[in-house]
Amino acid sequence: MQVSIIGTGYVGLVSGVCFAEKGHQVLCVDIDPTKVEKINQGISPFYEPGLDELLERNIHTRLKATTEFRQAILETDVSLIAVGTPFDGREVDLTYVKQAAKQVGEALKDKSTYHLVIVKSTVVPGTTDQVVLPILEAASGKKAGVDFGVGMNPEFLTEGEAVSDFMYPDRIVLGGIDDQSIDLLGELYSGFEGVDRLRTNNSTAEMIKYTSNSLLALLISFSNEVGNLCAAIGNTDIVDVMQGVHNSRYLTTILPDGERIVPPITSFLAAGCGFGGSCLPKDVKALIAHGEKHNSPMPLLDAVIRVNQAQPQQVIDRLHKHFPSLQGIRIAILGLSFRPNTNDMRESPAIPLIKDLLAQKAVLKAYDPVANREAAHILGSDRIDFCDSLAQVLENVDAVVLITRWDEFRSVPQLLSQSDPQPLFIDGRRLLDKHSIDRYEGIGL
């Protein structure tokens, strides 16, 4: 199929590259000419494992990036809108979605053949039918369901694993205003055999995405709340508590030979310094705001956000246990991105934590395998010494704080074993064995 993708961020570019890999002809459209230029040179504008390789293989054969909206719509059969939908402090900000819909609609005015418009951005239930569809009709002067189709296809990829998530999806949700829209959207995914497909309306498709993210956020905040109680009680460890919980037959399947199948959901039933990223915080907040708008408050999700926002303080409290004042205390920060294998810093718990430490006049060093530059851009580089290696960041410090679960950090016990005296170590993710470091402190311990 001939596909245009509007917005070449994490979702748009990964979708575009993967659809090209599956054999479609893809035009990626963005308003940012620098991004477009980079993509056309075969370079991804952001770090994502495996993406550069697929991009290089498909660029200029099945994939091209452009800033030319009209041409992209005219030359393709299907357009996917994958622009950002940030939270503006009150509700989901649909500015970019509305702009993209208007631009697609204006191009459709000059199109004589049927076109399918799909919303791939995460938007609150009702947006595709009540906001995007009317904009498309007004801008094109054409009729949805007759001249063009409209659908909603939420994306479930996780940054850091985006390419494999997209190439091997766990589900494909096909929302649409009619069978023709859903059938054509289904054709776009014809190369993804054996994956469960759910045909539904647009509003339900939109709600599936929010519900999925809200559940994950809920499990994390639940684990953090219980972990904080474990720490307050004393002599109780959240890691062992959760191991006992995971072993429930409701969570793990026990095969006839006694082997346990540990489902990935248990990774969300773990305490840490809080969730971040471009999705969970903003999506939960947007759903709460949407609930209020519809007179259906969501106190449970309200609490999920409150618990999460308070969680970085758990790290500060542990530092204060050992250093009543942090002024002049030399602290190494391990990991800056919101999760491993990405340089995305959006809503990373590292940001409020580092700001607080700087306000308390701590002396900071930091190291992230790929996000140093992005973090320096957000936090400034004048008061933080960004290091090039793990060994370097661990040199001459009073305390070490682990924020991101990078695999590389598993070698910290060995590296610290050579330090004399040993710095205090605070495990913000419970990544390491608590017995592997002398002065170990962890969330939920």
**Residues noted as catalytic:** 279
Query: Shortest approach of ligand NAD to residue 223 CB, angstroms?
Result: 21
- CB-wise, 38 or 111, nearer to ligand NAD? 38
- CB-wise, 279 or 437, nearer to ligand NAD? 279
Q: Strands 330-334 and 399-402: what pairing?
A: parallel
Question: Please, which residues have CB within 8 angstroms of residue 281's CB and are 6 or more apart in sequence?
Answer: 87, 217, 275, 305, 308, 347
Q: Which helix (H) or strand (E) holds 442?
A: strand 440-442
Query: Shortest approach of ligand NAD to residue 45 CB, angstroms?
Result: 8
* SS3 of residue 239 by DSSP: helix
Query: Shortest approach of ligand NAD to residue 154 CB, angstroms?
Result: 7
Taking the C-alpha atoms of residue 433 and residue 122, their distance in angstroms, rounded to an integer, is 37
- CB-wise, 155 or 225, nearer to ligand NAD? 155
Angle at 153 between CA 57 and CA 86, to 5 degrees: 90
Query: What's phi and psi for 66, nearest 5 deg?
Result: -155, 160
- CB-wise, 44 or 314, nearer to ligand NAD? 44
Query: Shortest approach of ligand NAD to residue 35 CB, angstroms?
Result: 6
- Return residues touching ligand NAD (CB under 6 A): 6-12, 29-32, 35, 82-85, 96, 99-100, 103, 121-122, 155, 157, 159, 278-279
110 residue type, one letter: D
- Edge-first strand listing for the sheet containing 440-442: 384-386, 363-367, 330-334, 399-402, 424-427, 440-442
Query: Shortest approach of ligand NAD to residue 382 CB, angstroms?
Result: 27
Contact 210, 127 (CB under 8 A): no
- CB-wise, 102 or 246, nearer to ligand NAD? 102
Cα–Cα distances in angstroms (integers) from residue 61 to residues 51, 78, 81, 167, in the given order: 16, 19, 22, 19
Query: Shortest approach of ligand NAD to residue 238 CB, angstroms?
Result: 27
- CB-wise, 7 or 125, nearer to ligand NAD? 7
* SS3 of residue 432 by DSSP: coil
Q: In angstroms, how far is CA 85 from the centroid of its own chain?
A: 13
Question: Please, which residues have CB within 8 angstroms of residue 229's CB and are 6 or more apart in sequence?
Answer: none
102 residue type, one letter: K
- CB-wise, 66 or 372, nearer to ligand NAD? 66
**Quick one: tokens of 149?**
């189709």
Query: Shortest approach of ligand NAD to residue 11 CB, angstroms?
Result: 4
- CB-wise, 9 or 340, nearer to ligand NAD? 9
430 residue type, one letter: R
- CB-wise, 135 or 353, nearer to ligand NAD? 135
Contact 422, 416 (CB under 8 A): yes
Query: Shortest approach of ligand NAD to residue 8 CB, angstroms?
Result: 5
User: Which one-letter DSSP state was computed for residue 132?
Assistant: I
| Longest pairwise C-alpha distance within the chain | 75
Taking the C-alpha atoms of residue 57 and residue 163, their distance in angstroms, rounded to an integer, is 14
Nearest-CB residue for ligand NAD:
9
DSSP per residue, 174-226: EEESSHHHHHHHHHHTTTSTT--EEEE-HHHHHHHHHHHHHHHHHHHHHHHHH
Query: Shortest approach of ligand NAD to residue 25 CB, angstroms?
Result: 19
Residues composing the chain? 445
| CA dihedral sign, ordered 405, 406, 409, 411 | positive
